[in-house]
Amino acid sequence: ASTGKWSVFRKDYLEGTSLYTKCKALWTETEMNHEYGKEMVGKLFGTSPFDFPKSVDYIKKCLILGTKKDSIVLDFFSGSATTAQAVMQLNAEDGGNRKFIMVQLPEKTDEKSEAYKAGYKTICEIGKERIRRAGKKIKEEAGLQGQNLDTGFRVLKLDESNMADVYYTPAE
């Protein structure tokens, strides 16, 4: 009998010999919200230098749904580098070799913020330090100090353009 109410449910599907679960329509678990993300960053830094970081578990779930073990993951608005941490964590868990490209403008941190007081003058600096700390922690927790988990990264900065500014409109 129909009650006239909607409900969300989970179905498991068997395809060949592997069982898989379709993604739920709603992700309401505590691990998916930004408060949990802030708590996780706080564990890395002692205090959270970022007010609303994404949850690593949230990004990991997106990676599970949308990547293969050798994918390249691009985050154009990387902020505190949650995506980089999620990629490294998932690689540690499933033996993957995903790589990440994080893009972040060198946006200055607020002089009144905890991040600025801790010495992080830009959001990029927070992201770089998070990747270092998260990589070290992931290796320690997985017992992979010398093994194959790649937690290294390079930082590239754009230089000034050598092109002259053009002040013409398309019609000119």
**Mind listing the pLDDT tens digit for each residue in 47-94?**
766 666 788 888 998 898 889 999 999 999 998 899 999 999 999 988
Residues with Cβ within 8 Å of 141's Cβ and at least 6 positions away in sequence, in order, are: 92
- DSSP type of residue 170: T
d(CA 123, CA 53): 12
- Mean pLDDT, to the nearest integer, of 89-112? 92
Q: Is the pLDDT of residue 20 over 70?
A: no
Per-residue pLDDT tens digits for 127-171 = 999 999 999 999 888 876 546 788 889 999 888 877 777 777 777
Q: Which of 4-18, 32-46, 94-108 has maximum average pLDDT? A: 94-108
Tell which residue, 66, 72, 124, has the closest CA to residue 97: 72
pLDDT at 85: 93
